[in-house]
């Protein structure tokens, strides 16, 4: 077997897992009226089938009377026996595959409350500002309310045991539990605040209450942050002390992660954050206590996990997003078929959608969240489909159409498959995106139903000669080049060209990048990788990275700052001169920014010429991806899947 440590059975307390792979909690907002539905159960079933040893459910609340928040994430509530049936569906389904399941039980939300209700002020250990609405403060919980929360917590654990869960996961990260533990949020003057002993009282009482309801032998996993990742937050030393105090309590495992809602890029790492971000911190805890640990946070692949286990850095590996993109990654890794694993590109679209009250979706796996629909059915009416353009949209639609039994011509005008994905995958920090490109190419190259034609521009004449039954136009977008004087100078480069031809380009030491959207920012980071030091981003908008989704943007801004990339905003490009660029500010005043090399990253414009010329000629024709308007992988991939279903 390729990864003997990863796939060896191991125990968390009295629970034996078939391997050391843990599906970390991942709330996808697939609930309806705060209940698990078939959509969620099927999502978990697929991951159990795929080989997870343990599934930790997403966040489930133990009560809703004292702390009814958050209102928009759709977290289920397990506060009565009436809920047992929903959860039993889940545990029974997962158990069919020899996978164990723990319930992530939260005692409350505290300062993460959203949408404050007029008659129910959010509560916390103390009066503290809400994360997203600092003007609104939590009300300090009374001691009676704390006792009630503790009681409800234990009751929920008892209900969970009755519903067939194999373990209770005591969720003391980020939410109310963590806020009690941490002096940055807990300012109480009574026995629940002040010293660490007092701040831990709520946790210890919750554990005691769980024990009273599930018994002494029932496995418990405690989830805490290693550090909060901001000045004034908890640091590792105190976490080690917390772990030491938990040691006598027969805890089955500690689930250790870095970060908080105030440092999301540590908790849910982006491409701009290093692999295994929590590993070294977690290892410090492991060395200090005799409790098995689970660590997660961008563990890149099975080989990396195996090494961690071999070196004794962790006892279990927690994986969240890699299970989103490919539920079967454990089985594929075990069989040595790593090339078949669809990698997570760490784009954080999945969590960003949940943050904005939508159900989760993935940039690369359009079947995530649609497991309940089953695999795409084979077509009863095989057609010849011409796919014009082999970017992510074209390759994805070709893959799924071919799998359905259609015969696909995938025509690409350039000599390479990939479209903008090729450029997106160039920087070293985008290695997962490069792996995604390889995966996508493999899907179409190895499918006998896909006839790939490179260096083939689809034109109306080409369509007439092929006479396909249907055409899917995926012609994407082209860089927008501003028509300013000097744009043709030899010191001006297009970011999209530079990324792929860097070795052949002459790039000076003083660089200005015009356009500080995703492409401009990532080009700046790429140039840093190449050793360039003096890089300035210039944009007419008031802030950089405006086209980047919220959670990725936070992380990108941190990275730009760390790499000391300058930015100048509110400045419109007027002219390019031998010494650099002339820009105009909001008041109409001009200034010169000196540079040896000027890089243009002023956005993309959709290329819909082919669609416009064919749409009235063809009976069955679709346009997907950036040729509709320039957007992101998630749009190309989701639209591709939707069309592959209906042809």
Ligand X SMILES: Cc1cc2nc3c(=O)[nH]c(=O)nc-3n(C[C@H](O)[C@H](O)[C@H](O)COP(=O)(O)OP(=O)(O)OC[C@H]3O[C@@H](n4cnc5c(N)ncnc54)[C@H](O)[C@@H]3O)c2cc1C
- Indicate which residues carry an active-site annotation: 175
- The answer to the question of residue 443 lying near ligand X (CB under 6 A) is no
Among candidates 344, 268, 319, which has minimal Cα distance to 47?
319
Q: Which is nearer to ligand X, 145 or 607 (CB)?
A: 607
Strands 477-479 and 604-606: antiparallel
DSSP 24-44: --------BTTB--HHHHHHH
Residue 90's Cβ-side half-sphere holds a number of Cα atoms within 13 Å equal to 31
* Residue 174 Cβ vs ligand FMN, minimum distance, rounded to whole Å: 7
- The answer to the question of residue 159 lying near ligand X (CB under 6 A) is no
- Cα separation, 267 vs 78, whole angstroms: 25
359-388 footprint of ligand X as x/- string (CB under 6 A)? ----x------------------------x
495 neighbors 600 (Cβ within 8 angstroms): yes
- The answer to the question of residue 365 lying near ligand FMN (CB under 6 A) is no
Residues in contact with 107: Cβ distance below 8 Å, sequence separation at least 6, in sequence order? 62, 63, 149, 150, 152, 153, 171, 175, 176, 177, 202, 206
Q: Which is nearer to ligand X, 21 or 348 (CB)?
A: 348
Among 226, 626, 644, 647, binds ligand X (CB under 6 A): 626
Burial of 559 (0-12, 13-18, 19+ CB in 10 A): buried
Enumerate residues 96-135 that contact ligand FMN by CB under 6 A: 104
Q: In sequence order, what are the beta bridge partners of 105? A: 60, 170
Enumerate residues 48-87 that contact ligand X by CB under 6 A: none
- The answer to the question of residue 257 lying near ligand FMN (CB under 6 A) is yes
- Cα separation, 544 vs 537, whole angstroms: 8
- Picked from ligand FMN, ligand SF4, ligand X, none, the partner binding residue 26 (CB below 5 to 8 A depending on kind) is ligand FMN
- Picked from ligand FMN, ligand X, ligand SF4, none, the partner binding residue 257 (CB below 5 to 8 A depending on kind) is ligand FMN
- The answer to the question of residue 625 lying near ligand FMN (CB under 6 A) is no
548-587 footprint of ligand X as x/- string (CB under 6 A)? ----------------------------------------
392-403 and 633-646 helices cross at what angle (nearest 10)?
30
Among 13, 25, 154, 327, binds ligand FMN (CB under 6 A): 25
164-183 footprint of ligand FMN as x/- string (CB under 6 A)? ---------x----------
Structure tokens at 206: 């919750």
Helix (H, G, I), strand (E, B) or coil at 441: helix
* Residue 633 Cβ vs ligand X, minimum distance, rounded to whole Å: 4
463-502 footprint of ligand X as x/- string (CB under 6 A)? -----------xxxx------------------x--x---
- Please choose, out of 21-29, 244-252, 517-525, 564-572, the segment that lies near ligand FMN by the rule CB under 6 A: 21-29
Residues in contact with 8: Cβ distance below 8 Å, sequence separation at least 6, in sequence order? 19, 20
Count of C-beta atoms within a 10 Å radius of residue 72: 14
Among 296, 306, 315, 639, binds ligand FMN (CB under 6 A): 296
Cα distances (angstroms) measured from residue 631 to each of 473, 519, 526: 16, 12, 21
CA geometry: angle 465, 466, 472, nearest 5 deg: 125
- Picked from ligand X, ligand SF4, ligand FMN, none, the partner binding residue 166 (CB below 5 to 8 A depending on kind) is none
* Residue 592 Cβ vs ligand SF4, minimum distance, rounded to whole Å: 40
143-162 and 201-214 helices cross at what angle (nearest 10)?
40
Helix (H, G, I), strand (E, B) or coil at 105: strand
566 neighbors 528 (Cβ within 8 angstroms): no
Query: Would you say the C-alpha torsion 332, 334, 339, 343 has a positive or negative sign?
Result: positive
- The answer to the question of residue 390 lying near ligand SF4 (CB under 6 A) is no
239 neighbors 225 (Cβ within 8 angstroms): yes
- The answer to the question of residue 341 lying near ligand SF4 (CB under 6 A) is no
Among 293, 344, 386, 643, binds ligand SF4 (CB under 6 A): 344
CA geometry: angle 312, 316, 319, nearest 5 deg: 130
- Cα separation, 317 vs 329, whole angstroms: 13
- The answer to the question of residue 205 lying near ligand X (CB under 6 A) is no
- The answer to the question of residue 597 lying near ligand SF4 (CB under 6 A) is no
Q: Which is nearer to ligand X, 7 or 272 (CB)?
A: 272
- Please choose, out of 33-41, 373-381, 514-522, 553-561, the segment that lies near ligand X by the rule CB under 6 A: 514-522
- The answer to the question of residue 346 lying near ligand SF4 (CB under 6 A) is yes
- The answer to the question of residue 349 lying near ligand SF4 (CB under 6 A) is yes
Strand order in the sheet with 534-539: 492-494, 597-600, 510-514, 534-539, 566-569
- Picked from ligand FMN, ligand X, ligand SF4, none, the partner binding residue 457 (CB below 5 to 8 A depending on kind) is ligand X
Q: Which is nearer to ligand X, 327 or 391 (CB)?
A: 391
19 neighbors 7 (Cβ within 8 angstroms): yes
269-308 footprint of ligand SF4 as x/- string (CB under 6 A)? ----------------------------------------
- The answer to the question of residue 321 lying near ligand FMN (CB under 6 A) is yes
- The answer to the question of residue 158 lying near ligand X (CB under 6 A) is no
533 neighbors 616 (Cβ within 8 angstroms): no
The alpha carbon torsion through 376, 377, 380, 382 (nearest 10 deg) reads 30
* Residue 160 Cβ vs ligand FMN, minimum distance, rounded to whole Å: 15
Helix (H, G, I), strand (E, B) or coil at 552: helix
- The answer to the question of residue 348 lying near ligand SF4 (CB under 6 A) is yes
DSSP 178-222: HHHH-TTT---SSTTSSSHHHHTHHHHHHHHHHHHHH-SSS-EEE
Q: Which is nearer to ligand SF4, 349 or 536 (CB)?
A: 349
Query: Would you say the C-alpha torsion 297, 302, 304, 310 has a positive or negative sign?
Result: positive
Among 269, 297, 419, 427, binds ligand X (CB under 6 A): 419
Q: Which is nearer to ligand FMN, 103 or 411 (CB)?
A: 103
- The answer to the question of residue 28 lying near ligand SF4 (CB under 6 A) is no
End-to-end CA distance of the chain: 41
Q: Which is nearer to ligand FMN, 100 or 321 (CB)?
A: 321
**Residues of the shown chain interacting with ligand SF4 in the complex, contacts defined by CB under 6 A:** 321, 324-325, 344-350, 362-364
Binding residues vs ligand FMN (CB under 6 A):
24-28, 58-59, 104, 173, 257, 268-269, 296-298, 319-322, 350-351, 354, 360
Task: Summarize as ranges the residues that interact with ligand X (CB under 6 A).
Answer: 347, 363, 388-394, 411-414, 419-421, 423-424, 457-458, 474-477, 496, 499, 518-519, 522, 607, 610, 625-627, 631-633, 636
């Amino acid at each position: 077997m390729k990864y003997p440590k990863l796939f060896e059975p191991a125990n968390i307390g009295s629970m034996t897992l078939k391997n050391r792979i843990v599906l970390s909690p991942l709330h996808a907002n697939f609930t309806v009226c705060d209940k698990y539905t078939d959509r969620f159960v099927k999502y978990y079933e697929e991951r159990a089938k795929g080989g997870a040893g343990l599934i930790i459910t997403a966040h489930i609340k133990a009560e809703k009377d004292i702390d009814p928040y958050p209102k928009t994430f759709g977290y289920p509530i397990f506060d009565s026996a009436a809920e047992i049936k929903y959860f039993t569906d889940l545990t029974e389904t997962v158990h069919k595959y020899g996978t164990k399941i723990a319930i992530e039980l939260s005692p409350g939300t505290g300062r993460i409350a959203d949408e404050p209700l007029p008659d129910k002020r959010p509560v916390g250990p103390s009066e503290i500002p809400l994360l997203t609405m600092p003007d609104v403060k939590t009300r300090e919980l009374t001691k009676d309310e704390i006792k009630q929360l503790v009681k409800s917590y234990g009751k929920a654990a008892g209900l969970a045991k009755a519903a067939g869960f194999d373990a209770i996961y005591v969720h003391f990260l980020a939410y109310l539990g963590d806020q009690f533990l941490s002096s940055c949020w807990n300012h109480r003057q009574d026995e629940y605040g002040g010293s660490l002993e007092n701040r831990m009282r709520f946790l210890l009482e919750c554990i005691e209450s769980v024990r009273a309801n599930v018994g002494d032998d029932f496995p418990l996993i405690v989830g805490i942050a290693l550090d909060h990742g901001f000045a004034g937050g908890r640091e590792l030393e105190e976490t080690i002390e917390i772990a030491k105090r938990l040691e006598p309590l027969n805890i089955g495992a500690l689930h250790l992660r870095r970060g908080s809602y105030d440092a999301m890029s540590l908790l849910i790492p982006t491409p701009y954050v290093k692999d295994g971000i929590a590993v070294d911190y977690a290892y410090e805890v492991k060395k200090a206590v005799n409790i098995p640990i689970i660590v997660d946070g961008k563990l890149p692949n099975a080989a990396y996990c195996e090494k961690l286990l071999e070196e004794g850095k962790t006892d279990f590996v927690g994986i969240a997003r890699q299970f989103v993109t490919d539920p079967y990654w454990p089985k594929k890794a075990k069989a040595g078929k790593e090339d078949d694993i669809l990698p997570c590109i760490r784009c954080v679209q999945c969590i960003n959608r949940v943050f904005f009250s939508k159900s989760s979706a993935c940039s690369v796996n359009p079947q995530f969240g649609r497991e309940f629909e089953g695999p795409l059915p084979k077509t009863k009416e095989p057609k010849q489909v011409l796919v014009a353009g082999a970017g992510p949209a074209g390759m994805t639609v070709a893959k799924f159409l071919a799998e359905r039994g259609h015969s696909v011509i995938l025509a690409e005008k350039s000599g390479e498959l990939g479209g903008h994905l090729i450029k997106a995958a160039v920087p070293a920090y985008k290695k997962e995106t490069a792996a995604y490109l390889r995966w996508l190419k493999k899907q179409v190259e190895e499918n006998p139903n896909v006839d790939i034609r490179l260096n083939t521009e689809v034109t109306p004449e080409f369509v007439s000669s092929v006479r396909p039954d249907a055409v899917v136009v995926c012609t994407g977008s082209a860089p927008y080049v501003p028509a300013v004087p000097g744009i043709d100078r030899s010191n001006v480069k297009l970011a999209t060209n530079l990324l792929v031809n860097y070795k052949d380009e002459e790039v000076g030491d003083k660089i200005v990048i015009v356009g500080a959207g995703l492409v401009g920012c990532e080009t700046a980071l790429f140039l840093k990788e190449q050793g360039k030091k003096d890089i300035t981003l210039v944009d007419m908008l008031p802030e950089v990275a405006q086209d980047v989704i919220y959670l990725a943007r936070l992380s990108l801004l941190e990275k730009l700052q760390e790499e000391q990339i300058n930015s100048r905003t509110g400045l419109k490009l007027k002219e390019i001169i031998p010494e650099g660029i002339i820009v105009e500010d909001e008041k109409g005043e001009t200034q010169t920014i000196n540079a040896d090399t000027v890089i243009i990253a002023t956005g993309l414009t959709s290329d819909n010429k082919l669609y416009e010329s064919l749409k009235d000629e063809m009976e069955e024709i679709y346009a997907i991806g950036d040729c509709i308007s320039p957007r992101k992988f998630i749009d190309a991939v989701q639209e591709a899947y939707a069309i592959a279903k209906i042809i």
